[in-house]
Amino acid sequence: MKLSIYLLLIYLRQQTLTAREQGDTARTRDLEAFNRVFLEAAHSTNDVVLAAVLENFEDAFRDTHLGVEWKSSIPSEEEIGPLLDNVEEVSLSEAFSYTQINSTTDTTHIVNDGVVFIPAPTEWAAILENRVYLDRKTPSGDFFEEWVKHQLSLSAKYPEIQVGLYQHGLEKFGLFPIVILKIDGELQRVHLERLNCESCDWSGYTANPMLSELYDYASWLAQARRSEKFTIRSCPRCNSRLPRHPIWVEPDPL
């Protein structure tokens, strides 16, 4: 476990350097959001050693926004190794999962290896009016507003469903809406769709994690395979097999 944390920090360092040198502001923002969640997890376990490493990354991201020299703030590979000698790996892992799922103050989450922003329900009115969130544009048009309002109505009814925004493609395209499902202690990207049972008259919403548009093109197959660990749900009324790949089904009102 310690090796995986070490490699994660090395990866964060390399990706940060590459993003800044290429002027990729969208990637830099995603890395900054990831570091913020990781840092919160370290603080929640009082792991001052790991937090010190991540705070150096935080300083580097701040310096990039200020337009000042930033490379010296990024820890070197030599600095990262010794600082991790006393890391409590298991508690950090548990805290990282807890931070992603239960944080009520930070809207930034890592879901299926990508950054997803989950605004509070009270923030959506302003997002729909201004079509912007965290200085990034969101889609325009009535369809976007109707889609979001419908998903929010389901979220209000079923707390395990949340509506988020994520960067799909180049930054100029802005943030796109996505549904996030809390399942088995994890967050999972899903597509909500209404299905009909072929064995009875049940009809209701289901959550499908298999659609390629939920993920980056390069990671779609890996993420689809990863989601196979979740139990496929049957009809809540007659227990028959439903079409598609539902890992969540709307409860039967009867």
> Looking up tokens 């923030």, which residue turns up?
123
pLDDT digits (tens, 9 = 90+) for 190-244: 999 999 999 998 999 999 999 988 987 777 888 899 999 999 999 999 999 999 9
- Position 30 scores a pLDDT of 78
Residue-level length of the chain:
254
Question: Is residue 170 very low, low, confident or very high in pLDDT (cuts 50, 70, 90)?
Answer: low
pLDDT digits (tens, 9 = 90+) for 3-40: 456 667 777 887 888 877 777 777 777 788 778 777 77
- Helix 2-21 to helix 48-66 angle (10° resolution) is 10
pLDDT digits (tens, 9 = 90+) for 64-73: 666 667 677 7
Helix extents (H) in the chain? 2-21, 25-44, 48-66, 77-83, 89-102, 124-130, 142-157, 220-226
Write down the mean pLDDT value for the chain. Answer: 81
Q: How many angstroms separate the most distant Cα atoms in the chain? A: 65
- Position 236 scores a pLDDT of 96
- Position 83 scores a pLDDT of 56
